[in-house]
Amino acid sequence: MKRPTILVLGAGYGGLTTTVNLQKMLSGEQAEIILVNKNDYHYETTWLHEVGAGTIAPDAARYPIAKVINNNVRFVQASVEGIDVNERKVQTTAGEMTYDYLVLGLGFEGETFGIPGLDKYALSLANLNAARQIREHIEYQFASWSLDEVKDDSKLTIVVGGAGFTGIELLGELGNRVPELCKEFDIPQEKVRILCVEAAPMVLPGFDPELVEYAKTQLAKKGVEFSIGTPVVEATEEGVKIKKGEDEFEFVKAGTVIWAAGVRGNKLVETSGIESNRARIAVRKDMRAPGFDDVFVVGDCAFLLNEEAGRPYPPTAQIAMQQAVTIAKNIKHLMADEDTEEFVYDDKGAVCSLGHDDAIADAIGRKMAGKKASALKKIVDNRALYLVGGVGLTVKKGKFKFI
């Protein structure tokens, strides 16, 4: 009998964790495992705020996929261009592929809610090269301000749209990086403005209020200003328009606008033949797509309701990696004609960094702020490396400077 083909799309937290679990469970004779990813490396999406601010190098946040897969897996470096689950076909830049089991793990895209100008004028932390672009854009703005005879100080204004986890973590890194940049480019620091614009009436909506207060105070010490309860309504080449009241708007001129105000699934989901909302598929309890018994969805392309809380689980790396383990097991169950398992989320809480030296955490049953929380954040980052690549990868790429 022909061995089944398992096609995994995307080598992010979800896709790569599925693959390394499958390669442990199945031999080459039992299944053909194919992993397709745009790049020949995996990047740590959860470190992109550091790459964007320039506090770590882009290379620090990536490693070759070849380092973590074995001979049971065929890796294909290609971009997925189309998915047709009715025909069981996937179009890629390396040609058409078919499958017996599909794992769709193509990650997220920034959600702009149709706000005019954002697609064109705002930068985002959508992937490693997008983060690299933010770093280089800010450096370019600072360098050109230094060289300009007539100085336009707005070149030194950085607007971050959104004070969710991504926005706050980015602001923490920017707070550390800006003094270094000012030194490098001979810029008086008081000329630089870092402004965070948040639509909701609070920063980090839903997080512990005391920890949020701590985060705001610490970020303010690093020079971050907040405009809360004031949505961005437009972006232009010059900056952003902010809604301040019923009929009140303010335009902030800015050399850099970074959009960190939410995510949706990969747009390829929308043309795959599976029903989706904001490119996220409401999966069944065993992580399969509704109506398609051979298609699993992992990570930010999957939508799963937390029935107890009556709201969806947030799209996080933590949940993507846990889903991946269930998916690998369920593929093995299906191959053996067994019942599939339900995905059960083990929520370990959340840690939000405020730069490399500070953080807030509501995790492992404790609330923490400062150096302890920051050390926990590094342990969490190292754990993700360990789960995919074991001790070797953790030692090579991990974060071991705890203070």
* Residues involved in catalysis: 169
101-104: strand order across its sheet: 73-77, 32-37, 5-9, 101-104, 295-297
213-225: b or e for each residue (b if 16 or more CB lie within 10 Å)? ebbbebbeebbbe
Q: What tokens appear for 183 in the block?
A: 């030194």
> Looking at 58, 105, 162, 175, which residue binds ligand NAD (CB under 6 A)?
162
Task: Return the number of other C-beta atoms located less than 10 Å from residue 190's C-beta.
Answer: 10
- Subset of residues 301 to 360 that bind ligand FAD, contact rule: CB under 6 A: 315-318, 320
> Looking at 33, 174, 182, 199, which residue binds ligand NAD (CB under 6 A)?
199
Task: Return the number of other C-beta atoms located less than 10 Å from residue 336's C-beta.
Answer: 8
Q: Are 254 and 159 in contact (CB under 8 A)?
A: yes
Q: How far apart are CA 63 and CA 60, in angstroms?
A: 8
- Which contiguous run of DSSP H or E holds residue 332? helix 317-335
Which listed option, ligand NAD, ligand FAD, none, makes contact with residue 328 (CB within 5 to 8 Å by class)?
none
> Looking at 32, 173, 270, 300, which residue binds ligand FAD (CB under 6 A)?
300
Strands 157-161 and 193-198: parallel
51 versus 187: smaller Cβ distance to ligand NAD? 51
32 versus 300: smaller Cβ distance to ligand FAD? 300
Task: Return the number of other C-beta atoms located less than 10 Å from residue 338's C-beta.
Answer: 11
Q: Which residues contact 306 (CB under 8 A, 6 or more apart)?
A: 312, 313, 345
Which listed option, ligand FAD, ligand NAD, none, makes contact with residue 105 (CB within 5 to 8 Å by class)?
ligand FAD
The interface mask with ligand FAD, positions 95-114, x = CB under 6 A, is ----------xxxx------
Q: Are 142 and 181 in contact (CB under 8 A)?
A: yes
Q: Binding to ligand NAD by residue 118, rule CB under 6 A?
A: no
Which listed option, ligand FAD, ligand NAD, none, makes contact with residue 167 (CB within 5 to 8 Å by class)?
ligand NAD
The closest residue (CB) to ligand NAD is 164
- Cα–Cα nearest to 253, from 385, 153, 115: 153
Which listed option, ligand NAD, ligand FAD, none, makes contact with residue 10 (CB within 5 to 8 Å by class)?
ligand FAD
Q: Are 135 and 53 in contact (CB under 8 A)?
A: yes
The three-point CA angle 190-195-198 to 5° equals 165
Q: How far apart are CA 136 and CA 140, in angstroms?
A: 6
Question: Minimal distance in Å, beta carbon 232 to ligand NAD?
Answer: 4
Which listed option, ligand FAD, ligand NAD, none, makes contact with residue 83 (CB within 5 to 8 Å by class)?
none
Residue with structure tokens 């049971």? Answer: 72
> Looking at 6, 7, 8, 15, which residue binds ligand FAD (CB under 6 A)?
15
Question: Which listed range, 30-38, 156-164, 203-211, 274-282, lies at the site for ligand FAD (CB under 6 A)?
Answer: 30-38
The span from the first CA to the last CA of the chain, in angstroms, equals 57
The interface mask with ligand FAD, positions 78-97, x = CB under 6 A, is -xx-----------------
> Looking at 165, 207, 296, 343, which residue binds ligand NAD (CB under 6 A)?
165
DSSP assignment of 277-288 equals BTTBEE--TTSB
Q: Binding to ligand NAD by residue 109, rule CB under 6 A?
A: no
> Looking at 31, 33, 48, 83, which residue binds ligand FAD (CB under 6 A)?
48
Q: Binding to ligand FAD by residue 132, rule CB under 6 A?
A: no
> Looking at 19, 21, 46, 157, which residue binds ligand FAD (CB under 6 A)?
46
Q: Which residues contact 119 (CB under 8 A, 6 or more apart)?
A: 112
> Looking at 15, 164, 265, 389, which residue binds ligand NAD (CB under 6 A)?
164
Residues in the site for ligand NAD, rule: CB under 6 A? 115, 161-167, 169, 197-200, 205, 231-232, 260-263, 314-316, 350-352
Residues in the site for ligand FAD, rule: CB under 6 A? 10-15, 36-39, 45-46, 48-49, 79-80, 105-108, 125, 127, 166, 169, 266, 268, 299-300, 315-318, 320
